Amino acid sequence: MKSSPLLLALALGMAALASPVRAADTTAPALPGQSLYHLQAGFTDQDGHALQWHDLRGRPQLVSMLYTNCHLMCPLIVENAKGVQKQLTPAQREKLGIAMLSLDPARDTPAVMADMAGRHRVGDGWRFLQPDADDVPALANVLDVRYRFREDGSINHTSALVLLDADGRILARSEVSSAVPDPAFIDDVRKALAGG
Amino acid sequence: MERMRPLLLALALAPALAGASGPEPGYRMLDGGAFHSSVRFEDATGLVPVAPYQLMQHPVTNAQFAAFVAAHPQWRRDRIPALFASPGYLGHWETADGPGATVAAEAPVAHVNWYAADAYCRAQGARLPTFLEWEFAAAADATRFDARDDRAWRLRQINDGTPRAIDAAADAPANAWGIHGLHGANWEWSGDFTSLLGDGDRRGQEDGEALRFCGATALAFNDPGDYGVVKRFVLLSALQPSSTLGNLGFRCARSQP
């Protein structure tokens, strides 16, 4: 078993040679095949910093897709995720990232996303991300989120929290219908934070 | 003479203005506008707005897709991550890096799943067209921007997705927008295909369920006689993003800045 890091490093070296696009990844072990981080997608966070989807790698993440001009379900998604966080110990909380991805990047600028974060008084570990304009459909598909703009500018969309492990594999999913988190899902989150 | 100047100026400027906002090579500009879609979504009001956009004149070919795969080897059939993989992906190519001699290089690429098609378009700074954008462009025949009143033309669209389709022959004329092959032997992915139909067993339920899922649903067609649209809609809405078909390819679109 001691040889596996070496093998991984070798495998990675070859992958890096074959794929100059991801040259920055040479120090990280290869992503598992089912990792959602294989998807190339870029974001700007609520502070205006650019980052890549695979930059979320490294700790488990709670991910959802929403938009700020949404008055019914989207606040519930944020409150539901806050509710999950509240059930965790401080040590567990530090190990969990939370990422809210906008379905409406044309209107959800970093300033608008920062405003949403402020209104919900979220704590540390939260990211409110504006995806690059053409990256939303692919993000929605890997997260199995369906959405469609209505003529009035509102969006019909799946309201779900998706739990990813540190390498971006889907561990669990919670369909959000209220601000109260699903106890079974909280257990899944605790398990994800205990492992690894 | 003074009075002619604005006109002359306008005439002189027109080509420059057209050039400034002209389409990318290989693309055609479509004006968009209020469009009567044959698909009725839940919030349908009849006319839907279509913003101006650019669409590729031809579907993406085997040769073009091979060039993309060479530049982005993670999309080779032997390297594609399990997340995006499907058994048939590029299965008709002779080798992992190209179609080979038995597959026509200039033929539309098929056996590509949605993820690969989406990645191809994004790598060009483009995107997949929406279903509505496809429908808008495909409403035109060779001479009319909207030929859908022509019953005989529409009847022939029953052959869409087969070798007998209107645009299946390589020398079939472009439509009025200058676009080829929209009613061809192959189907084409749309960017929004997963959201065309909500999950069947959740539709028509009470508000609570509808809110929980909130998947947009097209419950009916405004015009069930629009065979090309109906066939395509039903086909695409039955697919998964990782699905591949021997007669399913794609082309890209661009929003107007």
Output the pLDDT for position B82. Answer: 96
Q: What percent of chain A has pLDDT over 90?
A: 73
**Separation CA B130–CA B137 (nearest Å):** 11
CA-based nearest distance A80→chain B, Å: 13
Beta strands of A20-125 (E only): which ranges? 42-44, 50-52, 61-66, 97-102
In chain A, which residue's Cα lies nearest the Cα of B42?
A: A150
What percent of chain A has pLDDT above 70? 85
Residues of B in contact with A153 (CB under 8 A): none
Tell me, rounded to whole angstroms, the distance of Cα A15 from its chain centroid: 25
> Nearest chain B Cα to A73, which residue?
B211
ipTM for the predicted complex? 0.83
Question: CA-CA distance, A35 to B76, in Å (whole number)?
Answer: 18
What residues does each domain of chain B span?
A: 23-255
> CB–CB of A150 and B122 under 8 A?
no
The 3-state DSSP class for residue B6 equals helix
For the cut 80, the answer to whether the pLDDT of residue A130 exceeds it is yes
pLDDT at res. A124: 82
Residue A70: which pLDDT band, with cuts at 50, 70 and 90?
confident
Judged by average pLDDT, the poorest of A19-33, A140-154, A165-179, B80-94 is: A19-33
Name A65's bridge partners: A101
CATH topology classification for B23-255: paralog of FGE (formylglycine-generating enzyme) (3.90.1580)
pLDDT of residue A22: 46
| Range of weakest confidence among A67-76, A108-117, B12-21, B111-120 | B12-21
- Say what the pTM is: 0.85
pLDDT at B5 over 80: no
- Would you say residue B142 has pLDDT above 60? yes
Q: Which residues in chain B are closer than 8 Å to A74, comparing Cβ atoms?
A: none
Instruction: Give the residue-averaged pLDDT of B42-70.
Output: 91
What is the per-residue pLDDT for B256? 87
Measured CA distances, A55 to B30, B34, B231 (Å): 37, 41, 41
Collect all residues with Cβ–Cβ distance below 8 Å to A145 and sequence separation of at least 6.
A65, A103, A139, A157, A158, A160
A137–B81: do the CB atoms touch at under 8 Å? Answer: no
Residue length, chain B?
257
C-alpha–C-alpha distance, residues A61 and A59, integer Å? 6
Average pLDDT for chain A: 87
